Structure 1
């Protein structure tokens, strides 16, 4: 299970809540990549993706819930890693309104750079990826409610 979406859409909080609802699940926050902060963002993102594909290959859990924004090429790498281990990939894209995503919510205070990056991510389509199996507007729901909706969807 991959939780996709722009910055401040709720990927980490919803992902952790979802993993707590699923049997034998592990939550992986893609932002916890330990890449040196002095590297350019593109290099940090490449290291994060390499870490995620490695963790998928090594996973023993029944469910992996990964929170990280996906572009087409990173989706294809995650999909290949899942296929290599015989796992099914489901992508849930969290898509609050742009106004909600750019607001300070869930205890998070956004920087000016984050607000600008969120707008850019919406323009780049992070909130509406064609490979999404489910798109969920998280503007008016908290992490637990969103996780419950995703778990119900998975059970169908």
Structure 2
């Protein structure tokens, strides 16, 4: 388990793999964060498929979590979520950087993700981390009781190629 200080330097976050015992709790957090959340089954399937799924805990409480899928030559961030009261503390950036490192070590040349066009904080984070828009998916996100359908931007970041054994 790795521990790093958040950007505020006030409290440490412990990082570890997402485990079966976490799934119900993470799915409940997800429902509180996203209008169209991943389900318990989505998280369970991600673990069963061997995707890189990680959580960050502060004081024993999961405050950030996400899922990275690796494929030959590329990676895709499928989920990256920070609980509301832990935002703007560098946790999403820290997890994203972990995922990028995993992708590079696996030999991925590119990393992709999709994000709502209205999610300005996420778009700013991804731009700062070198992601560029490569496509737009019209009406990608379904409508909810409080919002109409929404487009997604597909973002890509090129990754440096690492050779086997390179740290």
Same fold per superposition (TM over 0.5) = no
TM-score for the superposition, normalised by structure 2: 0.34
Relative contact order: is structure 1 or structure 2 higher (C-alpha 8 Å, sep ≥ 6)?
A: 1
TM-score for the superposition, normalised by structure 1: 0.35
Which protein is richer in strand relative to its size?
Answer: 2
